[in-house]
Chain A
Amino acid sequence: SSELTQDPAMSVALGQTVTITCHGDGLRTYYASWYQQKPGQAPVLVIYGKKDRPLGIPDRFSGFSSGSTAALTITGAQAEDEADYYCSSRDSSGNRHWVFGGGTKLTVL
């Protein structure tokens, strides 16, 4: 089955830019989607497809995908962006499953 790899933790200064990456060979077949999860809350979709953003998600969130790497960039990070971020994609092995990355805990300093 496919695997997705994320850095466990990252930090960013308030107002600065941070890029969270997700690596996996399966990303050559399926785009990653990105989910933000704050403590005690359900995950929320923030990016899907090559770089699509759902309605209601601030435009400081952007996505990029190339080859086996997907990236989520927050430009001008705000205190409320402190959260866990998970990438996910469909399993490219043909088993019709989905996989998640291990998640990146983002701290806004």
Chain B
Amino acid sequence: EVQLVESGGGLMQPGGSLRLSCAVSGFTVSSNYVTWVRQAPGKGLEWVSVIYSSGTTYYADSVRGRVTISRDNSKNTVYLQMNSLRAGDTAMYYCARVLRGMVVLAPPYDWWFDPWGQGTLVTVSS
């Protein structure tokens, strides 16, 4: 069974740092794309970051320079290091596997997130 389990959230002060973990079972992180998505209280979903099987990483503009996604293949775990935390980072953070449809010669192309973890809550407040 494919499963992702997030941990590491908590109450943090502005300016602090935090590392979130996404422990994966049922697939290998080194051969797949894994993404982080967050949801502020009462708000919609916001894409945060992705790590490719190649190790290439991308970040949303709202977190670039403050957040680093990485993975430990031996632990089959993906991490999200968050620095210089702000009140606006307060959210539930979800990780998910990224899947891709068949490679086609012309668009539309097909990508989706499945499954998702249960999330870990990060609260930034003084």
Contacts and interface: CB of A to CB of B under 8 A. Distances in A.
A65 B101 CA distance: 15
Contacts of A16: none
B58 interface: yes
Interface string B92-126: 00100001010000011111111111110000000
Contacts, number: 82
Nearest to A101: B44
Interface in A31-68: 31, 33, 35, 37, 42-45, 48-50, 54, 65
Which secondary structure characterizes the binding site on chain B? strand
Interface of B: 35, 37, 44-47, 50, 58, 60-61, 94, 99, 101, 107-119
Given A43-B45, A54-B114, A86-B45, A29 B58 contact: no
Interface residues of A, number: 32
A18 B19 CA distance: 41
B29 to A, nearest CB: 18
Interface string A1-42: 100000000000000000000000001111101010100001
A97 B45 contact: no
A100 B113 contact: no
Contact of A30 (B58, B61, B107): B107
